[in-house]
Structure 1
Amino acid sequence: MDTFATGSTDPVAATDPADGSAPERAGYRRSTGSPRGEARRRELLDRVADDLAVNGLPDFSLRRAARAAGTTHKVLLYHFEGADDLLRQAVLLLRERRVGNALAAVAADPALRTLTDRVRAVWPVLTGAESGLRVLDQAIGLAMYDPVRHAELARTASAQYLPVLLSFCPLSWPERRKFEVSQLVLAALRGLLVELVTSGDVEGIDAGFAALVRALEREEADQG
């Protein structure tokens, strides 16, 4: 993680030919507000997120991101406030993809009516090759390594995942019960996913997930 590099905060005279806009000082997302600029920014962000999903966070820098996006680091500074901003937005995008895939897996099968069934259905999505698992867990590690600079990478994870788990809970449950159980599931899944990345003990992880499923079944039975 200590190889993570940020971009310069010095003024950068950068004009993106795709936008045709005049250069301004670095530290501002100058394409904001322009539909064409926003489309270009999203295109660049998609490419950087794809690179992160494959290659992870080590050695991440503006220049590496620029190579992945097929542009220059100055153009990235035109659209983003720096390397930290670009990394944060790329991680958020990868999580959005993961959440979208999880919701799609549940929506694809109307027979999934219980919390247990829904959690069981999203597990393959969370552990699959398309989930960006390695880089998303590296992002949590980065937040622990340097909380002053990267704490938001961890805070936003809960903000993105918790509403999904809440939506999986039975409608008849009290709101407090939904919150408690969702927090439990979130913590358990996060721990299992970190263990998968760090140890590769698939048999042990499968056993842990099976125990989580049994706990959810008991919880749902107790709640009626």
Structure 2
Amino acid sequence: MSAHSLRGFVLLLVTGSLSLMPGPAPARDYGQQGATFPVIEADLLSVIHQRLTGMQASGEIDRANRALAARTAERVRRPAPVVGIAAASEPRSWAFDPTITVADDLRDARGRVIVARGTRVNPLETVPLRQRLVFIDGDSEDQVAWAMARTTALNAKLILVSGSPFALMKAEQRRFYFDQSGTLTTKLGIRAVPAVVEQRGRVLAIREMVVQGTKGDQK
């Protein structure tokens, strides 16, 4: 086949293929199908800005900030009482062993193992409890008087499970602590106050004691 005949054959194939392609479909109006609604996309940041601007102008933000500051200050002055702690109705004593088993190797900054996994460690061997921990109800005058008469700032730390540590510090001229969320009493198993914790060798000796005038009081 000559080059001229070849070009003619190709042209015939192309034109023939184009003739087989469907033409444009005629447009048809199918009408409205169901209800339609306009698309509205609100700018969320704009809405928030407008809301805050309105709150600022009305003084609502300032009032909310003052209320939050007042609640925070009150919570600091008088934390929420530890739940489940009662005034001791009978003496109780037990020993608490703080020994733990190290779950993973403890390494220093250079990656060297300083305490191997599985080692049993007693914190009292490295950080002894030099002062007794005395847990009391700060709202009980009897318990506060009992603790003040039997301890000093040098030999004991007074820890409240209820009451205002700041009010007592001002009244007694002595530092008071608070067992926030019952962390210590829960760990040590204390259920009633007054309770005294002191070190005896490798364990902590814990005693719950009855104080005159507080028997049966509940928290």
TM-score range for the pair, normalised by the shorter chain length: under 0.3
In proportion to residue count, which structure has more strand? Answer: 2
In proportion to residue count, which structure has more helix? Answer: 1
TM-score normalised according to structure 1 size: 0.22
